[in-house]
Amino acid sequence: MPQHNSVAITDVQAAQKRILGIAHRTPVLTSRIVNDRTNSQVFFKCENFQRTGAFKFRGAYNALTQLSVAQKQTGVLTYSSGNHAQAIALAGQLLNIPTTIVMPDDAPAVKQSATRSYGAEIILYNRQETNREELAQDLASDRNLTLIPPYDHPHVVAGQGTTALELIQEVGKLDLLLVCCGGGGLLSGCA
């Protein structure tokens, strides 16, 4: 799949239908202290209560549901030090899709263990010596696996965007949306 495709609200809405009943509809909480200090009403979308503990499951599951039958049979590969790794591994387990994860050898043991517990094969690498994207592309090509990057993929972005869609559906129009940003998938989906 070509990357850098734009993601429209209709893509996020379609993703919401795909993950319905699979991904958790996470709670929205408020804090009197934060509201008092900011002189506003602040809502927190608690994605720490999502499956695998992060919003990443939304994008991973949405992406895997859209694979062809042949791609589902051969499996997928991603690179991640933890949250996306676990999300792809769990989505693969639920959809009966083999998963391979390229993970740095210094990734927390708890994240490695959780990823393995969902049935993923983990390939460790030294991040000082190896470029993870190049390693992942080479392995995906050699093994005929579909590469699902952690953020730079339209189906991942659309799935992650369901976080903001849910928030707006629950609390209404927002004056401002603050989104954490690592790779940019969540931010892009919420835009």
Q: Which residues pair with 122 in a beta bridge?
A: 101
Residue that the structure tokens 């959809």 belong to: 95
* Strand ranges across the sheet with 76-79: 121-125, 99-104, 76-79, 146-147
In whole angstroms, what is the distance from residue 186 CA to residue 78 CA? 17
Query: What distance lies between CA 114 and its chain's CA centroid?
Result: 15
- Asked if residues 157 and 163 have their Cβ atoms less than 8 Å apart, the reply is no
In whole angstroms, what is the distance from residue 74 CA to residue 148 CA? 13
Cβ partners under 8 Å of residue 114, min gap 6 = 52, 86, 89
The answer to whether 56 is a known catalytic residue is yes
Catalytic site residue from 45, 72, 81, 188 = 81
Q: Which residues are catalytic?
A: 56, 81
